[in-house]
Structure 1
Amino acid sequence: MAGLGCSSQSEGSQLDSSQLNDTNNASAGNLKDIEGIWIGNLTVQGGLELRIVFNISTNPDGSISASMDSPDQGVSGIPVESVSYKNGNLNLGVKSIPGSFEGIYKENNETIEGEWKQAGSVFPLVLNRIEKAPETHREQDPIKPYPYTEEEVVYENKEAGVKLAGTLSLPQSEGPFPAVILITGSGQQNRNEEIAGHRPFLVLSDYLTRQGIAVLRVDDRGIGGSTGNVSQDTTEDFAEDVLTGVEYLKSLKEIDPSRIGLIGHSEGGLIAPMVAVKSPDIAFIILMAAPGVTGEEILYMQSDRIARAEGASNETIAQNEALMRRMYSVVKEEKNNTAAEEELREILRTEIANTSEQKTESSGHSEAVIDAQVTALTSPWMRFFLTYDPRPTLMKVKCPVLAITGEKDLQVPPEENLRAIDDALKAGGNKDYIVKELQGLNHLFQTAKTGSLSEYAKIEETISPDALEIIGNWILEHIQEE
């Protein structure tokens, strides 16, 4: 589902030089070619553009150090563990994502032209030297000083051995306050849920805190200030982190324990009902672009909508779906990872052999792409996501629910998902819920023309003021009823 259409977020820690001396080397005399700050644009799923920045410098011993930033995802200082530059060829290895860049320095125009490889895909990437790393500020980003207080907080999910770091925003009026926890979409997101130069959770948190509601927003496991390795985790594990956050809020004198709610976006909209069913302390939940059907159904819908928005033919769309169905069938039916991996490799090799126009030349790249795709498909997260049906859980949710989705959402299409959410809540006997499609809004709740992922960065608006007002008013109505 890729809650926000991207998969390449990683550790946000500062660069540690001790991690960089893996295979870092260069031929003498060429280092000045590549020293400095380099930026390039990746065009990923659905035409979404993400900027990648490499910071390259030389050490006293002649080796090269590098780090990587993804400014549109709010991540900086990602260690580049292996760096080599020889005869104009630059190779950068980022194991923590994992990803790699291979490029050739072009002296005539001072660019480095090559490819970025990650998560089973290969993207062309041209790097240009810049003097200063880009700073991103959107019109809706709040500007300090704020009319409320912010606290950096850390608490622990002891059972999982995970430390969670976040920001708690507290109104300046007298407490105890009602509170909400913001739950990010899929892929490792930081506390502001940064994507395409936007910080949706920063904007949402600012809006709600000004309304007198305390807000806790948290870095996902393994990103920013939070610890953990998500390679073996599923959505259920992330739900346990949110439950830990609820217990943390209940321990604070500034928070009213009877008025704690959850706001989940995309995959966060799967997590919020899980937590509401497990914890009687949840006063309400808001589902923003939440799935109402299985992950497998979501992925077919998403692939179809995005491909059509890009102008793909019906034949291409049908071929893509047929391939997806073959692969997902293996993932669902073959529980042994070794056997599943071999079957998936055979499917992908056959597909590449049938479609590649440069079979021999691309064979090395193909195997790397296949390995990455197979790893992603057989991960615990994907195995869970494909088959998890949110409807039985939604039927058990008894607290008030607001479910909203943008009419132009291509990632979690509104008609099928809102209908499924509505049916499940009704079947479960929930007496207080609203299911609403918001006209003209995309997956990020921006006012959009097409809903295409490529629009995200181009739209100046971070969240529609109408969406913010709907959320804020609904919460205020329900906390007053308590």
Structure 2
Amino acid sequence: MNQIIDNFVTSLKQHQFDTAERYFTDDLAEAYPSSKLESDWIRLTETLGEFNSVETVRTQDADPYQIRNVELQFDDGQQTLRIVFSGGDESISGLQYISQQRGTTVLPEYVDESRFSCEQVVVGSDEYPLSGEIALPTAEEPYPGVVLVHGSGPHDMDCSLESYKPFRDLGYGLASQTIGTLRYNKRTYSYDLNENECTVDNLVLDDAVNAVNQIANRKDISEVFVIGHSLGGMLAPAIIRRSNAQGGILLAANARRLEDVVIDQYRTLADEGAVDASQLRSLEGEYQQIRNRDWNDDVELLEFPVSFWDSLSDYEPVQTASDLNVPVRIAQGKRDAQISTEKDFEVWKSELKSEDGVSFRLFDDLNHLFVEEDENGHSGQPQANVADDLIQWVSNWCTTVR
């Protein structure tokens, strides 16, 4: 498999795109022909310069697929290329360029480290203690506090994704605006859970509720808000309902059932040639199993254990948010390729617009991570940090809502 990857990347480097296509399954070759391989590679080298080498190959298998995330090093940056093999076949069945690497070790300009200090904390249960960090403003106490809740996947406290660190940007940006922020490593980042443990309570809710209640007990915190991103945004109403939070902000949160979002993402990947027709047919079958709750306990469906889907089966995010008697804000980036403006954000608006204390914001040029993008998916920022507009919008609300 690694030899195939080496040969494939070498063909790209040498501009032998017809040769590169020969490593594809028939379905992928039809969806992603050599002409598209060429145009994508040329555009990539125009942005990042000459290709140099493969830095690393990371394994991310999801039976029956063997996934390899290949880090490509160019003169002016890195790019992750996801290559998928299926069922032991030595032909490539899926191909996708993942978000472009941009060094984000430099803090964004809106972060003023003189205005806050950081304290290392432990959150979670005695069984699953989690490392965390609270950024505390140097301003006069008390001040509002927020807890940042991750999306799906085993995220660290910065919610690091490729070279992005959106929770670090949010945490330090809000602390610079006199808002205490608590971030923590997600349980699946710190521990290996067996499939039966992968319920929504174990993966998200229990630790988030503990984090909210922990920060709420501090004398330097006046009120606490939940800020949930993606899956964390969808579950934010449940976290607020179970905790001492006085409100919350839902960022890039789906209003639909999660399985509807996931299958739509796979359909988009199929349209782009990253998932072949046979893979999509299999995934559509898994989707129907989830919808019909027709499953065996020992399988994964759409890359999640059955225990996860079962624990979500009765959860209705919009209705749960409607039943809350606290202020809520809902925001999305118009360039979000994962959560739909029409199917999610507009549903939140239409269903909750008459509720007291609920407000909405659609950011025109921001993506799923609330980083600025143009219509071609390229960031206008050298470091690709969370946009200052979002920081100001969140901080203004947290310091004025009552």
Alignment TM-score > 0.5, same fold = yes
Contact 1:443–1:451 under 8 Å retained in 2: no
2:391 maps to amino acid:
L
Which residue pairs with 2:90 in the alignment? none
RMSD: 3.7
How much has 1:421 moved relative to structure 2?
Answer: 1.6
Please state whether the residue corresponding to 2:208 is helix, strand or coil.
Answer: helix
Please state whether the residue corresponding to 1:240 is helix, strand or coil.
Answer: helix
CA distance in 2 between partners of 1:323 and 1:219 (Å): 33
**Greater CA deviation, 265-274 or 230-239?**
230-239
What is the number of equivalent residue pairs in this alignment? 322
Q: Does 1:122 align with 2:71?
A: no
Contact 2:146–2:179 under 8 Å retained in 1: yes
1:296 maps to amino acid:
E
Q: Does 1:285 align with 2:248?
A: yes
Q: Does 1:440 align with 2:365?
A: yes
1:218 maps to amino acid:
Y
Please state whether the residue corresponding to 1:118 is helix, strand or coil.
Answer: coil
CA distance in 1 between partners of 2:170 and 2:55 (Å): 39
Could you tell me the percent identity over the aligned residues? Answer: 23
2:286 maps to amino acid:
M
Q: Does 1:327 align with 2:291?
A: no
Closer/same/farther in 2, CA of residues 457 and 192 from structure 1, 3 Å limit:
farther
How much has 1:171 moved relative to structure 2?
Answer: 0.6
**Greater CA deviation, 320-329 or 456-465?**
456-465
After superposition, the C-alpha distances for 1:85-128 in whole angstroms (9 at most, x for unaligned) are xxxxxxxxxxxxxxxxxxxxxxxx99899884512332457789
Closer/same/farther in 2, CA of residues 234 and 118 from structure 1, 3 Å limit:
same
Please state whether the residue corresponding to 1:468 is helix, strand or coil.
Answer: helix
Which residue pairs with 2:82 in the alignment? none
How much has 1:459 moved relative to structure 2?
Answer: 6.6
User: Aligned ranges for residues 166-181 of structure 1 at < 5 Å?
Assistant: 166-181=132-147
How much has 1:147 moved relative to structure 2?
Answer: 2.7
Contact 1:190–1:219 under 8 Å retained in 2: yes
Please state whether the residue corresponding to 1:273 is helix, strand or coil.
Answer: helix
1:174 maps to amino acid:
E
After superposition, the C-alpha distances for 1:189-217 in whole angstroms (9 at most, x for unaligned) are 11000012111111111111111111001
How much has 1:440 moved relative to structure 2?
Answer: 1.6
Q: Does 1:204 align with 2:170?
A: yes
Which residue pairs with 1:155 in the alignment? 123
Q: In structure 2, list runs of 5 or more residues that go unmatched.
A: 1-5, 10-51, 74-100
1:396 maps to amino acid:
D
Closer/same/farther in 2, CA of residues 473 and 323 from structure 1, 3 Å limit:
same
1:217 maps to amino acid:
R
CA distance in 1 between partners of 2:175 and 2:54 (Å): 45
CA distance in 2 between partners of 1:211 and 1:153 (Å): 21
1:182 maps to amino acid:
L
How much has 1:430 moved relative to structure 2?
Answer: 2.6
Q: Does 1:296 align with 2:259?
A: yes
After superposition, the C-alpha distances for 1:344-373 in whole angstroms (9 at most, x for unaligned) are xxxxxxxxxxxxxxxxxxxxxxxxxxxxx6
CA distance in 2 between partners of 1:113 and 1:462 (Å): 24
Select the structure with the greater relative contact order (CA < 8 A; seq sep ≥ 6): 1
CA distance in 2 between partners of 1:419 and 1:374 (Å): 28
Q: In structure 1, list runs of 5 or more residues that go unmatched.
A: 1-39, 44-108, 342-372
After superposition, the C-alpha distances for 1:217-272 in whole angstroms (9 at most, x for unaligned) are 1110142xx5563642222332121111122112222222xx11010000110221
Please state whether the residue corresponding to 1:436 is helix, strand or coil.
Answer: strand
